[in-house]
Every structure is written in C-alpha cells, then in structure tokens.
C-alpha cells in the first residue's frame, strides 16, 4: 500500500496531524554521554544512533525495542546500568487510535530535519522496523549496508541462539 504522505514534510504540513495528539517525536542526543560530553564538537566517529521511525502504533513494539537498544528502560526511561552506555535515539510514534499506517513514511522519503541531522552526526545507525511473522517464519530480519554490524548482530561469529533466531533479510525493509 502506498504511503499517504510523500514525505515527513507533507505529513507535518497536514493540519489534521498534531504533535502530541496524533503523533509524537522523541529524541536524545549524546550530550549526556560522558565520553563525548567533554568534546567541544560533534564526533561522528563516536556516535551511534538507534531509530524507530515507524514507532508507536505504526510498527508496534519498535519504540520499546529502540529505547532498550539505546540503553533506556522502555517504561521508566531509566538508563541501563549494564555498563554499555546509552546511544542517540530517534523515535517517531503514531498515536492514533486506529489507522496509524497513515503515518508511515517510507525511509527513502523520510525527511525529518532532526532525524536527518542526528543520523548525519552518527557513525553507526540501527533502524528498527516491524514485520509480520508471515513470510519471515517468526525470525528477526537483519539487513542493511553495514555488513560488519550485520554480521555481529546476526551472531555469525558468536551465539548459536542468536544465529538460529535471525536470518538475513532478502527484502529492503522500509
């Protein structure tokens, strides 16, 4: 099904969409990461960002997974104490009671200036999407351009448990 909006700019321009009512945006930058806080300027080499660009009711569960991967408790937002630190974060959430798919803007058309700026300042990006179990056999789909990170995430050189629950995505998820 084609997107209702050709871009995030078009979505924001529609007066029927209201931030805090029909959609929400949440983001965190690295200012509270001690390692980079001491640096005067952005350091793209050090930054990682986790994105749920179709969060809330658009692709259910991706907001919560993004928070957890970025190092926050999905309910309390408390920072993880696992010593792995926290990462930059972008979440766009559909808050409608139904038809949140109307707020789905395909990645390649995703022109939110804050999200783009966060990604520009990041060395690595993890973008989370929701897929249905049909056609994926309930397995996590992992793909993208960053093959080094993809191999690590799929546990190719590590955990058999992770390997068995993931497979390389044949589709470019958007």
Asked if 48 touches Zn ion (CB under 5 A), the answer is no
Give me the half-sphere count of Cα atoms (radius 13 Å) on the Cβ side of residue 93. 20
Does residue 129 belong to the site contacting Zn ion (CB under 5 A)?
A: yes
> What minimum distance in Å lies between the beta carbon of 63 and Zn ion?
12
Q: How far apart are CA 119 and CA 79, in angstroms?
A: 21
Q: Which residues pair with 124 in a beta bridge?
A: 48
Kindly state whether residue 30 participates in binding Zn ion, applying the rule CB under 5 A.
no
Q: Which residue is nearest to Zn ion (CB)?
A: 129
Taking CB under 5 A as the criterion, which residues in 50-89 touch Zn ion? 54, 59
Residue 103 is a binding residue for Zn ion (CB under 5 A): no
Determine, following the binding rule CB under 5 A, whether residue 8 of this chain makes contact with Zn ion: no
Which backbone phi and psi does 113 adopt, to 5 degrees?
-65, -35
H helix or E strand, kind and range, residue 49: strand 48-56
Report the alpha-carbon distance of residue 28 to residue 111 in Å, rounded. Answer: 18
* Residue 46 CB, nearest approach to Zn ion (Å): 27
Q: Is 154 in the site for Zn ion (CB under 5 A)?
A: no
Inter-residue contact 91 to 28 (CB < 8 Å):
no
Query: Least distance in Å: CB of 53 to Zn ion?
Result: 6
Binding residues (CB under 5 A) for Zn ion: these are 54, 59, 129
């Amino acid at each position: 099904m084609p997107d209702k909006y050709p871009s995030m700019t078009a979505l924001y321009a529609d007066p029927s969409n209201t931030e805090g009512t029909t959609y929400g945006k949440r983001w965190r930058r690295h200012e509270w990461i001690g390692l980079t806080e001491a640096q005067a300027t952005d350091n793209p080499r050090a930054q990682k960002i986790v994105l749920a660009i179709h969060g809330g009711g658009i692709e259910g569960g991706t907001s919560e997974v993004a928070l957890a991967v970025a190092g926050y408790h999905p309910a309390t937002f408390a920072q993880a104490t696992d010593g792995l630190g926290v990462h930059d974060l972008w979440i766009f959430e559909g808050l409608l009671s139904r038809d949140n798919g109307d707020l789905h803007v395909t990645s390649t058309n995703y022109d939110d200036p804050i999200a783009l700026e966060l990604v520009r300042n990041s060395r690595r990006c993890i973008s989370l999407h929701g897929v249905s179990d049909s056609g994926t056999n309930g397995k996590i789909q992992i793909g993208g351009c960053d093959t080094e990170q993809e191999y690590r995430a799929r546990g190719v050189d590590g955990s058999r448990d992770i390997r068995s629950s993931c497979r390389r995505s044949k589709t470019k998820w958007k």
